[in-house]
Amino acid sequence: MSDCIFCKIVDKEIPTEFLYEDETCVIFPDINPAAKTHLLVVPKKHIPTIADLEEGDEKIVGHMVKKAKDIAKEKGLTGYKLQFNVGKDGGQEIFHIHLHLTSTQG
Ligand code: AMP
Ligand code: ZN
């Protein structure tokens, strides 16, 4: 998706400091943090919304949750929230799925 900001971040066309990267996803800080810690877990595959998940994509989503858990542990967070906004009516602004990890700690 050439006009997708998160594809551009994943492809390193927009320089962004990754806290984590593997073959499936990247993790970077939200540019407009809504909490003391606010990270985004973004898959490398362009999937517009959770409502667009296809057969097999559950592996990607499961991996994202696992990596969110891992980075929270690494940062010493003992409590946090994980959230997907789904669709315009669900508050989604960027149509490339991403998992928000927010915490009052950090
Ligand atoms: P959502 O409303 O769930 O689509 O969330 C999109 C999130 O992406 C918002 O919290 C934005 O602050 C964040 N965001 C937008 N552009 C960037 C960027 N270039 N780098 C990091 N986070 C971004
Ligand atoms: Zn994309």
Determine the residue of 17, 26, 28, 32 to mutate for testing ligand 1's pocket, defined as the one with the most ligand atoms within 8 A of the Cβ atom: 32
What region, left, alpha or beta, does residue 56 occupy, with left being phi > 0 and alpha being psi -120 to 50 degrees?
A: left
Q: Does any ligand 1 atom lie closer than 6 A to the CB of residue 2?
A: no
**Given this model, what pLDDT does residue 2 score?**
75
**pLDDT one-digit tens code per residue, 28-45:** 999 999 999 999 999 999
Residue 22 lies in a domain: yes
**Given this model, what pLDDT does residue 1 score?**
64
**Given this model, what pLDDT does residue 71 score?**
98
Number of CB atoms found within 10 A of residue 30's CB = 15
**Given this model, what pLDDT does residue 69 score?**
98
Q: Which domain holds residue 35?
A: 5-81
**Given this model, what pLDDT does residue 93 score?**
98
Q: Does any ligand 1 atom lie closer than 6 A to the CB of residue 24?
A: no
What region, left, alpha or beta, does residue 12 occupy, with left being phi > 0 and alpha being psi -120 to 50 degrees?
A: left
Ligand showing the shortest atom-to-Cα distance for residue 39: 1
Domain count for the chain, please give it.
1
Return the DSSP state at 12. Answer: T
Q: Does any ligand 1 atom lie closer than 6 A to the CB of residue 57?
A: no
Residue 44 lies in a domain: yes
Residue 96 lies in a domain: no
Residue 29 lies in a domain: yes
Give pLDDT < 50 ranges for the chain: none
Residue 12 lies in a domain: yes
Residue 104 lies in a domain: no
Angstrom distances, CA of residue 86 to CA of 62, 66, 67, 96: 17, 20, 20, 10
Ligand showing the shortest atom-to-Cα distance for residue 34: 1
Residue 96 CB-half CA count within 13 A: 19
Residues with CB under 5 A from ligand 2 (ion): 1, 4, 6-7, 46, 96
Residue 69 lies in a domain: yes
Q: What is the CATH number of the domain that holds 67?
A: 3.30.428.10
Degrees to nearest 5, angle at CA 36 with 34 and 37: 90
**Given this model, what pLDDT does residue 90 score?**
98
**Given this model, what pLDDT does residue 85 score?**
98
Single out the residue of 46, 95, 49, 104 nearest to residue 77, CA to CA: 104
Residue 95 lies in a domain: no
